[in-house]
Amino acid sequence: MRLIIVRHGETKENVARIVQGQTHGSLTKRGRIQAKKTGERLKDEKISALYSSDLGRAIETLLEIARHHNFRKIRLSDKLRERHLGEFQGRPAHELHSAVEKSGGENKSFRPRGGGETHSDVRRRVISTVRRIAKRHPGEDVVIVTHGGAILNLLKGLFGIEEKVGNASVSVIEFDGKTFKPILINCTRHLGKRRAKDKSAWN
């Protein structure tokens, strides 16, 4: 089976360098265009199921994919959310970066106050969720729309790939029932960009 992993389109908070975490966010005009282009890219794929984070920016992106497919049900999950960033959610990104530096630790182990998660927390949450989805759909193609940090931790945990993914990028992972295999990572060609780590002829 194939997992087609999509990051949501650009948000107003991305542009303003605001830490979104598990707030909903709002797509910019450019972000909505990116979402539409992603939907057009995937319109001819034989997709069996659509999954998404339950945050607004991911749902808005997923709906542009769903409009090309006859689905009565879209499956939303809080387990596919972005990292919870506690007291820094909705705050300028530089405040989070400053707090990490002052803690004397590394970003990967930093836990924001107010219910925040570490990267390890996100990695375990997202990988276990993706594994359950993959096992639920043997031999099928499934779309998952989620967030940059969630995808970063998924790729790091499964393959040791430290790849920050672009807005509305597409990554493809194969699962044979036991093992995950990266096929395409961070592809934005449908947006007019060439950057991608392409492991196959899939485009």
Instruction: Give me the pLDDT at residue 99, please.
Output: 92
pLDDT tens string 3-48: 999 999 999 999 999 999 999 999 999 999 999 999 999 999 999 9
Q: Is the CA virtual torsion 24, 25, 28, 34 positive or negative?
A: negative
- What is residue 50's three-state secondary structure? strand
- Give a yes or no: residue 140 inside a domain: yes
Domain, as residue range, for 50? 2-198
- Give a yes or no: residue 61 inside a domain: yes
Residues 6 and 169 sit within 8 Å (Cβ to Cβ): yes
Q: How far apart are CA 73 and CA 87, in angstroms?
A: 34
pLDDT tens string 99-144: 998 887 667 789 999 999 999 999 999 999 999 999 999 999 999 9
For residue 136, what is the domain's CATH number?
A: 3.40.50.1240
Residue 201 has pLDDT above 50, yes or no: no
- Give a yes or no: residue 78 inside a domain: yes
Banded model confidence at residue 67, pLDDT cuts 50, 70, 90: very high
- Give a yes or no: residue 156 inside a domain: yes
Query: Residue 140 contacts by C-beta under 8 Å, 6 or more apart in sequence?
Result: 1, 2, 48, 49
Residues 168 and 27 sit within 8 Å (Cβ to Cβ): no
Domain count, the chain: 1
Which of the residues are catalytic?
8, 82
Instruction: Give me the pLDDT at residue 37, please.
Output: 98
- Give a yes or no: residue 203 inside a domain: no
Residues 181 and 193 sit within 8 Å (Cβ to Cβ): no
Note the pTM of the prediction, 2 decimals.
0.91
Residue 198 has pLDDT above 50, yes or no: no
Q: How far apart are CA 139 and CA 136, in angstroms?
A: 10
- Give a yes or no: residue 100 inside a domain: yes
- What is residue 132's three-state secondary structure? helix
